[in-house]
Amino acid sequence: MGLDDKISNKAEEVKGQTKETVGKATDDEELETEGHADQAKGNLKQAGEKIKDVFKS
């Protein structure tokens, strides 16, 4: 697990932020919720990567 995974996780988080923003702007609660879920998933994956990095050291 390396830089590619970290970039992918960050991209998922940013995609979620975009969806959430668009959902708020268009009053699309489903899109807003989906964006929030994408952000949470990306954050969780990033936390996992950080834990892996700690044990590698």
Please give the pLDDT value at position 24.
Answer: 96
Please give the pLDDT value at position 2.
Answer: 76
Q: For the chain, where are the alpha helices, taking DSSP H only?
A: 3-25, 29-56
Ramachandran class of 2: left when φ > 0, alpha when ψ lies in -120 to 50, beta otherwise = beta
The 10s digit of each residue's pLDDT in 9-51 is: 899 999 999 999 999 999 999 999 999 999 999 999 999 888 8
Query: Which phi and psi (to 5°) does residue 2 adopt?
Result: -140, -145
- Structure tokens, 29: 């609660």
Centre a 10 Å sphere on the Cβ of residue 29 and count the other Cβ atoms it contains: 10
Give the global pTM.
Answer: 0.79
Higher per-residue pLDDT: 25 or 57: 25
Domain count within the chain: 1
Q: How far apart are CA 51 and CA 40, in angstroms?
A: 17
